[in-house]
């Protein structure tokens, strides 16, 4: 299989075997896409992912030129956004989902800045954003 063939839509006969089952593939997908996280226990994986998100919100966003005045609001917004992956929704519904019983719903301006910074950081793919 070549990348060129994949990109040009060529179909070649595939042969070979794998010891992976459907359950194995499902576990890999659900375990996160970070190669270094694949062998972690669920507890350790959750800790690493939490640390990754904390760094994203508290360090990387600032380095991307976006000041985050309320990190907890951005975290809620990211959770609301993640909950809508593979669905059709509007930015307003994501923004409202970030509220989740809190009075500090992120403003439209704030979510626009978040989106732009997360796209620069390659966390969001601007090709699939609504």
Q: How many CA atoms lie within 13 A of 103 on its CB side?
A: 0
Alpha carbon distance 116, 68 (integer Å): 13
Q: Does some domain include residue 52?
A: yes
Backbone angles phi, psi at 75, to 5 degrees: -60, -45
Tell me 104's DSSP state: -
- Residue 110 maps to a domain: yes
Domain count, the chain: 1
Q: Is residue 6 in a domain?
A: no
pLDDT tens digits along 65-115:
998 988 988 888 888 888 777 777 777 777 777 776 666 677 788 888 888
pTM of the shown model:
0.66
**Residue 112's domain spans which residues?**
40-120
- Name the band, by pLDDT with cuts 50, 70 and 90, for residue 129: low
| pLDDT tens per residue across span 5-40 | 878 888 877 788 889 899 988 888 888 888 888 888
């Amino acid at each position: 299989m070549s990348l060129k063939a994949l990109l040009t839509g060529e179909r070649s006969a595939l042969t070979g075997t794998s010891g992976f089952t459907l359950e194995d593939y499902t576990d890999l997908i659900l375990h996160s896409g970070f190669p270094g996280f694949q062998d972690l226990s669920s507890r350790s994986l959750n800790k690493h992912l939490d640390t990754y998100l904390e760094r994203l919100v508290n360090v990387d966003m600032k380095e991307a030129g976006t000041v985050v005045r309320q990190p907890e609001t951005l975290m809620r917004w990211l959770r609301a956004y993640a909950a809508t992956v593979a669905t059709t929704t509007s930015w307003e519904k994501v923004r409202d989902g970030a509220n989740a019983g809190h009075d500090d719903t992120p403003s439209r301006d704030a979510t626009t800045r978040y989106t732009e910074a997360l796209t620069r950081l390659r966390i969001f793919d601007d090709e699939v954003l609504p």
